[in-house]
């Protein structure tokens, strides 16, 4: 895979923002656009913030899983787990297009 261009993790979130936890507090995403007037986050917005915060960890885990599957299954018939491997590759490529 080519080098990632996105902001490396770890990321954190609180209230309306997701930011990079490295001391510079670089903002990654604003998760509550539209409801700030009421100053109340919905459960969905809170869950979205948690998912965005987890993105770098999920990306790394998917990369590691794909690498492991490629190494372990490389000697086997290529038809085993092909749909799962394709999903991992598609997700990683979505985040880091080749």
Successive 10-residue mean pLDDT values, the chain, 98 residues: 79 79 73 62 81 88 85 65 80 79
Q: Which of 95, 92, 17, 2 is nearest to 53 (CA)?
A: 17
Domain-located, residue 3: no
What span, in angstroms and rounded, lies between the C-alpha atoms of 11 and 83? 30
Q: Is 25 part of a structural domain of the chain?
A: yes
Q: What is the pTM of this model?
A: 0.73
What total of structural domains would you count in the chain? 1
* pLDDT at res. 51: 87
For residue 14, the cross-strand partners are 17
74: in domain: yes
Domain contains 79: yes
pLDDT at 75: 55
CA distance 27 to 18: 6
User: Domain for residue 44, yes or no?
Assistant: yes
The Cα 41–Cα 62 span in angstroms is 29
Residue 38 belongs to domain spanning: 11-95
What's residue 74's pLDDT?
Answer: 66
Q: Where are the alpha helices (DSSP H) in the chain?
A: 43-73, 82-95
Whether 35 is in a domain gets the answer: yes
């Amino acid at each position: 895979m080519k080098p990632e261009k996105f902001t490396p993790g770890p990321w954190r979130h609180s209230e309306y923002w997701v930011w990079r936890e490295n001391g510079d507090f670089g903002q990654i995403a604003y998760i509550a656009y539209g409801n700030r007037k009421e100053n109340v986050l919905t459960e969905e917005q809170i869950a979205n913030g948690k998912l965005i915060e987890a993105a770098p960890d999920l990306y790394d885990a998917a990369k590691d899983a794909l690498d492991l599957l490629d190494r372990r299954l490389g000697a086997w018939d290529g038809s085993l787990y092909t749909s799962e491997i394709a999903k991992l590759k598609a997700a990683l490529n979505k985040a880091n297009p080749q």
